[in-house]
Amino acid sequence: MNHALPASPQAPVASRGVERLVAGRATSDGAGVKLTRVLTQDLQRRLDPFLMLDAFRNENPDDYIGGFPDHPHRGFETVTYMLAGRMRHHDSAGNAGLLGPGGAQWMTAGSGLIHSELPEQEEGLMEGFQLWLNLPARNKMIAPFYRDIPGEAIPEFATLAGVRVRVIAGESQGTAGAVQRPDTEPLFLDVHLPAGTRFAQRIPVGHNAFLYTYRGEVTIAGKAVADRFMAILANDGADGVVIEAAQDARVILIAGAPLNEPIAQYGPFVMNTAEQIQQTLRDYQAGLFESAVVRPA
Ligand code: MN
């Protein structure tokens, strides 16, 4: 009788194809912070539940020093992931924190708050991402909440081939991420692939998914994704994605369950209807955000 083969660590994954490559749009936000808006408003429906992805990588302090002074949010979550540099956070609920290299901040704006995000450095590289994740209609007015996750608290693992995976949210090859969220079930991975390696990740068939290359180039289902491009992964029935790197490469991989609800965005407010946006503007003008204990009307 043959000895049984050891169980493979993961059954093979069929890769989704690349539906579209997106270069993003250079812009500035806050007090003159230069960034690339990778996920723009026209892609919100396609990439539901994700509303925005900004990538920033600035060596020149003039391009980041102004930061993001006091501004409001309502109706969604912001996820900031830092690769280099430090940002200080304050909000109207009395929370404060310092976000450093390799760390993340998960903020649920919910019913509303006012916060600032300011660089805690006057020189050197500032690099990272901010992702906006929608909340289901029934949770848009929940109490604001935020959590700072220092770099050392983000679970990570390496595959036998040497691919290093940091699991900010969701689950990868048995490693649970720092954050789990209901409803949208977000996956947020930072994947470092040495030259000549591949990495396979399962993604539920119905979820929307994309990745962004921030160092080097990768190949997915035979299609090259150049440095600093977003690849929207096709919803083609495949059970995951296989990322291949001929040279050293780093990508963030993001996926989530669509909410399939109407999206009404006005700047930093994301609700479901125009009337809710009007109410939000009235609440903001009435100073209700300053206490960060706004209740549903
Ligand atoms: Mn903000």
Q: Could you tell me the distance, in angstroms and rounded to a whole number, from the CA of residue 258 to the centre of ligand 1? A: 23
Q: What is the pTM of this model?
A: 0.94
Q: What does the alpha-carbon distance between residue 49 and residue 63 come to, in Å, rounded to a whole number?
A: 30
List, for residues 268-295, the tens digit of each pLDDT value. Answer: 999 999 999 999 999 999 998 887 544 4
Residue pair 109/117 in contact (Cβ under 8 Å)? The answer is: no
Q: Which pLDDT score, from 0 to 100, does residue 22 have?
A: 98
Q: Could you tell me the distance, in angstroms and rounded to a whole number, from the CA of residue 239 to the centre of ligand 1? A: 34
* Backbone dihedral angles phi then psi of residue 80, each to the nearest 5 degrees: -105, 130
Q: Could you tell me the distance, in angstroms and rounded to a whole number, from the CA of residue 86 to the centre of ligand 1? A: 15
**Fold of the domain built from segment(s) 18-261:** Jelly Rolls (2.60.120)
* Mean pLDDT, residues 178-200: 98
3-state DSSP: the chain helix, strand, coil percent, rounded to 5?
Answer: 10, 50, 40
Q: Could you tell me the distance, in angstroms and rounded to a whole number, from the CA of residue 263 to the centre of ligand 1? A: 19
* Mean pLDDT, residues 87-99: 89
Q: What percent of the chain has pLDDT over 70?
A: 94
* Mean pLDDT, residues 70-95: 93
* Mean pLDDT, residues 111-119: 93
Q: Could you tell me the distance, in angstroms and rounded to a whole number, from the CA of residue 16 to the centre of ligand 1? A: 32
User: Domain coordinates of the chain in residue numbers?
Assistant: 18-261
Residue pair 143/160 in contact (Cβ under 8 Å)? The answer is: no
* Mean pLDDT, residues 82-106: 92
Q: Could you tell me the distance, in angstroms and rounded to a whole number, from the CA of residue 99 to the centre of ligand 1? A: 13
Per-residue pLDDT at 296 exceeds 50:
no
Peptide bond into 155 cis (omega under 30): no
Q: Which pLDDT score, from 0 to 100, does residue 74 have?
A: 97
Q: What is the mean pLDDT of the chain?
A: 93
Q: Could you tell me the distance, in angstroms and rounded to a whole number, from the CA of residue 4 to the centre of ligand 1? A: 54
Q: Which residue has the tokens 């083969």?
A: 5
Q: Could you tell me the distance, in angstroms and rounded to a whole number, from the CA of residue 89 to the centre of ligand 1? A: 9
Q: What percent of the chain has pLDDT over 90?
A: 87
Q: Which pLDDT score, from 0 to 100, does residue 11 have?
A: 75
Q: Which pLDDT score, from 0 to 100, does residue 10 have?
A: 67
Q: Could you tell me the distance, in angstroms and rounded to a whole number, from the CA of residue 113 to the centre of ligand 1? A: 9
Per-residue pLDDT at 69 exceeds 70:
yes
